[in-house]
A and B are shown apart, each in its own frame.
Chain A
Amino acid sequence: MKDHSRHITLLILADSPLINAQRLSEWTGHAPQLEIDIALTNMALDKLGHARLLLQYAATDEEGDTDEDKLAFFRDVREFRNWNLTELPDGDFGVTIVRQYFFDIYQEMLWKQIKENSNDTHLQGIAARVLPEIKYHLNFSDMWLERLALGTEESRERVLNAINELWFFVPAVFLNTPEEVNMIKDGFLPDMKTFQKEYTNTVRQRFNDLNLPLPSHPVHDKSGKEGYHTEHLGFILAEMQSLQREMPGLEW
């Protein structure tokens, strides 16, 4: 039986930016300022581009007839491998910013490791493409995290609530699924477990600068990479996939 580890690992890499893009695009026309509206939608487009590169790669890695669109529009919740953090509701702008910050600190570390240490040249090529864009995204969420954390009493309170809710979903992303374990052995994927400390320290240091606490409550042990999701993903997919599922193969 064929080992699907590489295909699944590529879905793990693709699905987080895909769902993040879907969530960010929900801000279209609703952001607090026009400039923020443009920024969030531009970021969504970048993330979609990242997802597409990876879904295209994943499609070539499977036998049979599949492509990026079939993978995006015809998989169900249990087959999606995105980090649960990315499917959480946008909430207020504070929640969206904290969610983006947690996500992009991780993305930057992950893709930097892939660029430097993966033995797969195509994946390294993708890393070189996505890293500069992730830096811009991180710049945006870091900047807004600072403004909101040190802004008014209300902005600070909303950021504190966001951190309390979202941190619960963060640490699990560092647990490797069986497919990732195989691809780490192969040298395809870096072992992000060894970077968990660096991630937490980076976040903690930044939070110290901004007088923000890192919660110490228990955290979730499922990341979503194994296919176990929150109640939110179903609704996202229902909206995202509805058109293709109603009229399969529909094109512009």
Chain B
Amino acid sequence: MVTTEADKIRSVLSTIYDPEIPVVTIEDLGMIKNVYYNKDRKEVELKPTYTGCPATSMIKLLVRQALDAAGYEDIKVKISIDPPWSTDDISEAGKRKLLEYGIAPPSPTIDVRALQTGEVTGVECPSCGSSKIKLVSAYGATPCKAQMQCRSCLEPFEYFKCFSTNE
């Protein structure tokens, strides 16, 4: 099987970890939109996550540094918002890594209005697996996370907010 340049570039990109959540890579998060490496086009297109996310600039810088170190100074790094990123783009491996780290991954069955009542369904405690979860706050340490607490083992944890664009 032939490894193309694009494949090699993707494996360089998959070594870049999210600076805020250092257990998931930008590949896990689904931030790599496209990799072009041919005569006419040498580009990496990234999808930024949240609009105000301060880590986006950092990630762009890390991508630039990684590409340069691997000898790909000729590749342009572009940010593309079309189509927009959503939490659906996070890979299953990424969701597993989040859970192992203690952050509950986004749950598509959670209802934004449920954040109002404090009674959360569809989320499991990363420590004990219980689904009896209380919402502490819809806003956490970073704009992408909410604060929750397990009613069974009482451990507090963060929840990666579900942002699906299919609404």
Contacts and interface: CB of A to CB of B under 8 A. Distances in A.
Given A128-B165, A132-B165, A139 B136 contact: no
Interface stretch (A38-46, A97-105, A230-238): A38-46
A97 to B, nearest CB: 14
A45 B161 contact: no
Contacts of B112: 135-136, 139
Contact of A125 (B53, B81, B115, B138): B81
Given A132-B163, A136-B112, A143-B116, A50 B51 contact: yes
Interface in B66-123: 81-86, 112-113, 115-116
A158 interface: no
Nearest to B86: A132
Contacts of B51: 46, 49-50, 52-53, 129-130, 133
Contacts of B86: 132
Contacts of A133: 50-51, 163
A126 interface: yes
Interface string A46-64: 1111101100000000000
A128 B138 contact: no
B50, B51, B115, most chain A CB atoms within 10 A: B51
B143 interface: yes
Contact of A139 (B84, B113, B143): B113
A195 interface: no
Contacts of A52: 51-52
Interface in A17-57: 35, 38-39, 42-43, 45-50, 52-53
Contacts of A122: 81-82
Given A139-B115, A143-B116, A38 B83 contact: no
A132 B143 CA distance: 12
Given A47-B52, A49-B53, A132-B165, A125 B82 contact: yes
A228 B50 CA distance: 32
Interface in A84-131: 121-122, 124-126, 128-131
Nearest to B116: A143
B53 A140 contact: no
B104 to A, nearest CB: 17
A68 to B, nearest CB: 13
B38 to A, nearest CB: 25
B50 A46 contact: yes
A228 B54 CA distance: 33
Contacts of B113: 139
Contacts of A35: 136-137, 139, 147
B152 interface: no
B164 interface: yes
Given A49-B53, A135-B112, A140 B138 contact: yes
Interface of A: 35, 38-39, 42-43, 45-50, 52-53, 121-122, 124-126, 128-133, 135-136, 139-140, 142-143
13 contacts: A35-B147, A39-B137, A45-B54, A45-B143, A50-B51, A50-B52, A53-B81, A122-B82, A129-B81, A131-B167, A133-B50, A135-B167, A139-B116
List the 10 closest pairs (A to B, CB-CB), nearest first.
Answer: A49-B51, A49-B52, A125-B82, A45-B52, A39-B139, A128-B84, A42-B143, A129-B84, A35-B137, A132-B163
Given A38-B141, A129-B165, 20 more contacts: A35-B136, A38-B137, A38-B139, A45-B143, A46-B143, A49-B50, A50-B52, A53-B81, A124-B82, A125-B81, A125-B84, A129-B51, A131-B167, A132-B86, A132-B165, A132-B167, A136-B115, A140-B138, A140-B139, A143-B116
Interface of B: 50-54, 81-86, 112-113, 115-116, 136-143, 147, 161, 163-165, 167
